Structure 1
Amino acid sequence: METAAETTEPRHATSGTPAVRHRLNRRKGLLRYPVIRQLIRFTGVGIICTASSLAIYAMLRPWVDPQIANAIALVLTSLLNTALNRRLTFKITGSKRRANDHLSGVIVILVALLITGGSLGILHLLRPEATVSEELWTTTLSGFVATAVRFTLLRHWIFRRARHV
């Protein structure tokens, strides 16, 4: 005759068994969807890289044109962004395809540069006397659009091999 302890799952059951994985996924709520977990990690990386980019822009802006300051800030933070997203957001480790990932990341940064640079161009077309503060707001707001584009390109193009994490 079985006791209650014998009819329950053993305590040492691995999380790799389908039944255990199903229970864990059910408990996680929205976090059971890979895209939600990736968006959360991507947001953390984005905060770090945006703060770095804005700080670089603000430091350079008194000495150089806004487009040049924006380009330098984005290029300097692009390697950091790609490396952090590769490792933290999409859980890709090791050196295999690292160089290709970074080269593709440059294309993604160029797209972001077009978006943010275009917004600065429009700002200065409409307000030639725009202040550094207004430029920072403009690059920040257009950066949100660039970020959505960046996540989409990273997830569906560069790191598509890791969409399940």
Structure 2
Amino acid sequence: MENPQTPPEATADRSADPAPRLRGALGVLLSARRLRKSWRVPVVRQLTRFTGVGVVCTVSSLALYALCRPWLGAQTANAVALIITSVMNTSLNRRFTFRVRGTAKLAQDHLNGLVALAVALVLTAGSLAGLHWVQPSASVAAELWTTTIAGWVATAVRFSLLRHWIFRRARNA
């Protein structure tokens, strides 16, 4: 027995109509084709791999900051976390994002990576200083959010530096 308040179209048997399922499958197929096609573009591959490396390094940096913050203070904990994760970031991006292997120019790549570290340090330290100027008793959570947002800006700068300067020899990796 049908509910008098249920519209007739809501009770119709839709299992016989394959059109919605076909449209859904076709959409997935077309999306997969677009994805494969875009993967042929070097910068798309690099951005995808760079994002994966960035997630690992960001989580590591936040954990190191939170771990060091009680003993070292905000600025020193930020510097320690950035220095450690910057070395890790340059190594991971060298290998995975830009597919550079071997020891040729390894030291030079890490020295150049220090420039990207300096940019990140200036941005995050400046954002922490700004936060503490506006809110002197800011919580660790507020500091983490502040450095994370500043880190996103630093990440865009880092990708550009890595792609166009440090690893330009592997731009189409």
Partner secondary structure for residue 50 of structure 1: helix
Q: Please give the alpha-carbon distance, in whole angstroms, between the structure 2 residues aligned to 1:46 and 1:88.
A: 11
**Deviation for aligned residue 1:122:** 0.5
Deviation at 1:78, TM superposition (A): 1.3
3-state DSSP class of the match of 2:71?
coil
How many residues align? The count is 141
* Separation in structure 1 between the aligned mates of residue 35 and residue 151 of structure 2, nearest angstrom: 34
Q: Which runs of 4+ in 1 moved over 3 A?
A: none
Match of 2:24 in 1: none
**Distance in 2 of aligned mates of 1:158 and 1:90:** 10
Instruction: Give the drift of 1:27.
Output: 7.9
Distance 1:64 1:101 in 2: 29
Looking at structure 1, the residues matched to 100 and 167 of structure 2 have their Cα atoms a distance apart, in angstroms, of 8
Q: What's the C-alpha RMSD, in Å, of the aligned pairs? A: 1.4
- Counterparts in 2 of 1:33 and 1:61: CA distance versus 1, 3 Å: same
Unaligned ranges ≥5, structure 1: 1-24
Match of 2:64 in 1: 56
- Choose the corresponding residue for 1:126, options 134, 139, 146: 134
For the residues of structure 1 that align with 2:102 and 2:91, how far apart are their CA atoms?
A: 11
AA paired with 1:66? A
Specify the SS of the correspondent of 2:125: helix
Spell out the pairing of 1:17-96 with structure 2 (5 A cutoff). Answer: 28-96=36-104
Change (3 A) 1:31 1:130: same
Using the size of structure 2 for normalisation, the TM-score is 0.79
27-36 or 138-147: which moved more?
27-36
Q: Distance in 1 between matches of 2:135 and 2:153?
A: 21
1: distance between equivalents of 2:84 and 2:156? 20
Residue 151 of structure 2 is aligned to residue 143 of structure 1 = yes
Amino acid paired to 2:129: G
Cα deviation digits, residues 5-50 of structure 1 (max 9, x gap): xxxxxxxxxxxxxxxxxxxx99822111100100000000000111
Task: Render the CA deviation track for 1:30-86: whole Å, top value 9, x for unaligned.
Answer: 111100100000000000111111000000111122111000000011111000000
CA change 1:61–1:26 in 2 (3 A) is: closer
Q: Which runs of 5+ in 2 are unaligned?
A: 1-32
